[in-house]
Amino acid sequence: MNRRKNLITSTGNLSLFPKSELPLEIDVLFHESMARKSGFGRIAGVDEAGRGPLAGPVVAAAVVLPQDAILDGVRDSKAMTAKAREEAFSLVDATALTIGVGVVSAKQIDAWNILKASLNAMKQAVLCLEPAPDFLLVDGTYPVPVTTPHWCLVGGDRLSLSVSAASVVAKVYRDRIMRSYHAMYPQYGFLENKGYGTTRHLAAIKAHGACPIHRMTFRGVA
């Protein structure tokens, strides 16, 4: 089995990954291996799902994989079908050393804002890990509000296997939550749209008004 390879899109600014050590093409365990070379043993990938929807929570996951893990089919969850994500979720669950999940409700998103809510969900996910990680690889540009050293990777869900695994866990976990909400509020079509602002979802909001899991501060809801 061959590891997938991806083109790196940015070099970042931490000395842990100096430019001289970043090849044009890297495998998806490159950042994990660099962290281990710097003395970190337990590397957690961190990602979130659900920043854009009009309804439901934002969910984050943190995943620590074994060194040199090979997870065929695990990649950026946004590029996968629902069936492939479920299969990848099972593989990650069976392989990971530890997994943490954080969930922040629509009500809390409205009280804070989606960025703060997303980072708080990531914090929850990291704090759930047992044993605690030594280092984090975080998708995006914003640091997580924890003391654990970490590196923010733009496009991390494509560049790091640990982050890809976290993206799969977060997405599948959130989709399952939205399926349960569909049973409570079937008129909004959460089974299909997962809370995103599709034409049918927007029409349902107009016809029925918002329900308790809608984000009232989001355009298209209020």
Minimum mean pLDDT range among 3-7, 81-85, 117-121, 165-169: 3-7
pLDDT(7) > 80? no
Residue-averaged pLDDT of the chain = 90
pLDDT tens, residue by residue, 45-99: 999 999 999 999 999 999 999 998 989 888 878 888 999 999 999 999 999 999 9
pLDDT tens, residue by residue, 128-165: 999 999 999 999 999 999 999 999 999 999 999 999 99
Ranges assigned E (strand) in 50-112: 58-64, 98-104
For residue 135, the cross-strand partners are 43
Burial string for 162-172 (b: 16+ CB within 10 Å, else e) reads bbbbbbbbbbb
> What separation, in Å, do the N-terminal and C-terminal C-alpha atoms of the chain show?
50
Written as six digits, the tokens of 114 are 């989606």
Cα Rg, the chain, nearest whole Å: 18
Burial string for 28-43 (b: 16+ CB within 10 Å, else e) reads bbbbbebbbeeebebb
Could you tell me which of 144, 62, 136, 49 has the C-alpha nearest to residue 97? Answer: 62
Over range 15-41, report the average pLDDT: 75
* Domains and their CATH numbers in the chain: 27-176 (3.30.420.10)
Instruction: Give residue 17's pLDDT.
Output: 54
